[in-house]
A and B are shown apart, each in its own frame.
Chain A
Amino acid sequence: MQSLETMNRFGWGIRGTETVSDRPRDWLARQLREPDAARFTGVGTTADGLIALRTQRMNRMQGDPLVKPIFQAEVATQLDNLLLTRQPFRERLAWFWFNHFTVSLRQGGTRAIIGAYMREAIRPHVTGRFVDMLVAVMRHPAMLMYLDNASSIGPDSPAGRKGHRGLNENLARECLELHTLSPQGGYTQADVTAFAAILTGWGVDLKADQPGFVFREKAHEPGIRTMMGHRFGEGEEGGLQALHFLGTHPATYHHIATRMVTHFITDTPDEHDVTQVSRVLQQTEGNLAAAALMLPTLVDTTAAGGKFRSPMDYATAVMRALSMGGTPSQPDDPHSSAHTLLAAFAALGQPLWTAPLPNGWSDRAADWAAPADMLARSDWAWQIAGQMRKGDPLDIAHAVLGPALRAQTVTAMQHAGSRQDALTLLFSSPEFQRR
């Protein structure tokens, strides 16, 4: 692969001023070898978010006065990092895994902690073992609230026998279907029910000094459970054993390999490529860095010219191409670069952390290439391009697309009547719609 092609496909788009590596695979590997360089400012922990949520609820405050600033600070610092990162491959993997383990603002009241979920449950494990990320996700209050497990109670537990409450199988089902085995893994409804029982008691303690994950013995369904032919014991330990079983299962490795190849290489993954990645996962006990570094060795044989950019990809690539960002975004400043990017995600159809369903955002071009989407992109690009008062659009075009830039696009840009129109043509070209 050409350097620029690799940097675009595995990153977030070239920043206008970036130097291009002549050894793209080394560039990718170094990002995963070195520690995460992202520095987040003005944000706290999950516990801080839960305290804000608790205080609002106890005092019946209207309008999210404590949670809103926390959310805005998360958006500001995380989107600033997305625009400025020098580790775009690592950053792309972080957002990929967030989407794999989707938590959404649409349900569960996760606004106070969704940013912390990204920083605490996803980011530390991007180059680690899959099973460790799985456990971190499943114990995180954001996931327990989003998929209702915080209120699931074993019918035969002490709490279940007292009241009329009981099981909620939502998290157990989505964990089997989306996070680990996938339907091809061959689980049954009985396995879902057993796993839901295993996970009873996994909840959120809002009342503690440091609110967060809690295992509620009183809500836990007693007894040995059989899932996928394996027996799992009682208590919190049984749940951890089940997650270890699922997080290292061959069907899980195949499933996440499929998702990785789909996200980075092609909408229609080749079984041979998927097998290569899942074999690496098998051999390394689920090492995600090793699996990620397998991806650049695979060749996209489709003639599509790269993966079609989702709205989030697209808006980020445009703003990086224009070297936007740099001054830290103030959380409540509607004109900050982070806020501009946040608004673009929504306007183009992919509002931040707001996936409609637990399966997250699509990785298929067909889901993002409706006529309305295309026109919305050009309209938005035109507005953004209007803010550029200096620099040569053609320099930017060569810097961000390199050999992929077509002569036709160059000609159209040369004939454009203004810097704004030239940049709009660049960002509306078919080659810029792909990474």
Chain B
Amino acid sequence: MLIRRRAALMGLATSWALGRASLAVAAPSSHEEDPRLVVIIMRGALDGMSAVTPYGDPSLAAHRRALILPEPGTAGGMLDMGGFYGLHPALQNMHALYAAGQLLPVHAVAGNYRSRSHFEAQDCLESGADARMDSGWLNRAVSLMSQRDAGPDGYGLAMGLTVPLLLRGPARVGSYAPAASHHPDPDLYRQIAALNADDPVTGPALRNALQARGFSDTVMESSRAAVSSPRKGSRPDAFVTLSTAAGRMLASRRGPRIAALEIGGWDTHARQIDRLGRPLTQLDRGVAALRDGLGPAWSRTVVLALTEFGRTVRINGTGGTDHGTGTVAFVAGGPVAGGRVAGTWPGLRPGQLFENRDLAPTTDLRCVAAGLLCDHLRLKPAAMATVFPGAAASPMQGLIRQA
């Protein structure tokens, strides 16, 4: 089969042992020098003040002493970020990026949504609008990119078993799952596609899936082989596997340029000090896998990791935190003006908290995303009205190093 579509997708047989991660990719191109963008959705609300801890804030200890790790430079302590902030020790690889000037946390960010419901907040985060839409901001951004090589059947690909709202919309996204060891011959697939040809839901889905299969199988096989396990015999987790695959696909000379991944496990209502390490480690290894998979293309890649909202400043009664507002977002990649923490720190005195409860948001997440779309993907600032309808999302400046 001629590889006309530049997208591929790997589904993982989700099982409760693997957890649920997914990857979607879009925007095929044959121009190697094109910028790449990866968006990671952290579903469940990351406690930003545990990931990037403002230990220099004099009010911090009074709110959450039991959640604060030792200061940088001590055993089991936070990783040094140059004072005031410390990075969670699970983020070893990201700390190395920080030291190399390639990681830029943006603190005290939030979307425009304030009601603390995971589900509505995720819809808003992915829609990029004040109310849920049926398309996501990243898809709308892709549809505005110059589509030099989009094949006749659209392009794009979701990995994992679903396409997140973030990447649904006018720009077509296909997806692919690896076949089981035994599967029908190509002729039966052709008949299945014909049976569904006129169906608005299943028709395009099957067409995309079948077209993606040839290209994807090759990429996926090499990806799976490339994932190095931390311990002999243990399976790498789904997120790292998908990150490796995403990195390789984005790196390929003719391949997608946009990817969306998701990772869960952040809803730490209890025993947060024990529970946050695992998802942070997965995130950290996933970012490293992306960088390794991308190879030289890392110098043209930006990764944005965001979450629907933050968590309460005060520790709750069960060693955890409840749903909050302001949190941290991570921007990483070769072109990033990193090695510092961006955003405006609002302070933690009771009068400075949002509703005397949460970290006050001082930066709209959509401004961060818009800054990357404009300065990295070179979309026009005027296009932000389409990507983020109803939001006065003025692109945040200075996220990308000026070449």
Instruction: Mark A residues whose CB is within 8 Å of B.
Output: 105-107, 147-148, 151-153, 155, 160, 164-170, 173, 177, 183, 189, 192, 304, 308, 346-349, 351, 354, 356-359, 365-376, 378-380, 382-383, 408-409, 412, 416, 421, 424-425, 428-430, 433
Contacts and interface: CB of A to CB of B under 8 A. Distances in A.
Nearest to B44: A357
A166 B316 contact: yes
Contacts of A148: 269-270, 318, 320
Interface in B188-212: 188-189, 191-192, 194-196, 199, 201-206, 208-210, 212
Given A168-B316, A168-B318, A412 B191 contact: yes
Contacts of A189: 116, 355, 357
**Interface range, B side:** 35 or more
B199 A372 contact: no
B175 interface: yes
B185 to A, nearest CB: 9
Contacts of A380: 180
A170 B322 contact: yes
A147 to B, nearest CB: 8
Contact of B161 (A160, A365, A372, A383): A372
A378 B192 contact: yes
A144 to B, nearest CB: 12
5 contacts: A168-B269, A349-B162, A375-B209, A382-B188, A421-B188
Contact of A425 (B13, B16, B195, B264): B195
A14 B13 CA distance: 27
Contacts of A408: 195
A346 B264 contact: no
Which 6 pairs across A and B sit closest by C-beta, in order of nearness? Answer: A166-B317, A371-B209, A349-B161, A372-B177, A371-B175, A372-B11
Contacts of A155: 317
Contacts of A376: 11, 161, 177
A173 B208 CA distance: 40
Interface string B16-48: 100110000000000000000000000110000
Contacts of B317: 151-153, 155, 160, 165-168
Contacts of B196: 374, 428-430
B16 A173 contact: no
A382 B180 CA distance: 10
Nearest to B115: A183
Nearest to A147: B269
Contacts of A153: 317-318
Contacts of A177: 117, 119
Contacts of B44: 357
A78 B117 CA distance: 32
Contacts of B19: 106
A403 to B, nearest CB: 18
Given A375-B176, A412-B194, A428-B195, 6 more contacts: A164-B66, A359-B118, A372-B11, A380-B180, A430-B203, A433-B202
B9 interface: yes
A75 to B, nearest CB: 12
Given A152-B317, A372-B9, A373-B205, A366 B168 contact: yes
Q: Which of A147, A370, A408, A429 has the largest count of B CB atoms less than 10 A from its CB? A: A370
Contact of B205 (A346, A369, A383): A369
B256 to A, nearest CB: 14
B72 interface: no
Contacts of B158: 370-372
B63 to A, nearest CB: 13
B177 A354 contact: no
B323 interface: yes
A351 B205 contact: no
A414 B13 CA distance: 32
Interface in B293-307: none
Contacts of B276: none
B179 interface: yes
A308 B115 CA distance: 31
Q: Which of A192, A373, A429 has the largest count of B CB atoms less than 10 A from its CB? A: A373
Contacts of A308: 201
B202 A378 contact: no
A10 to B, nearest CB: 21
Nearest to B11: A372
Contacts of B116: 173, 189, 192
A192 B355 CA distance: 14
Nearest to A374: B205
A301 B319 CA distance: 50
A98 to B, nearest CB: 16
B182 interface: yes
Q: Which of B199, B317, B319 has the largest count of A CB atoms less than 10 A from its CB? A: B317
A359 B14 CA distance: 18
A370 B175 contact: yes
B184 interface: yes
Contact of A357 (B119, B134, B199, B212): B119
Nearest to B201: A369
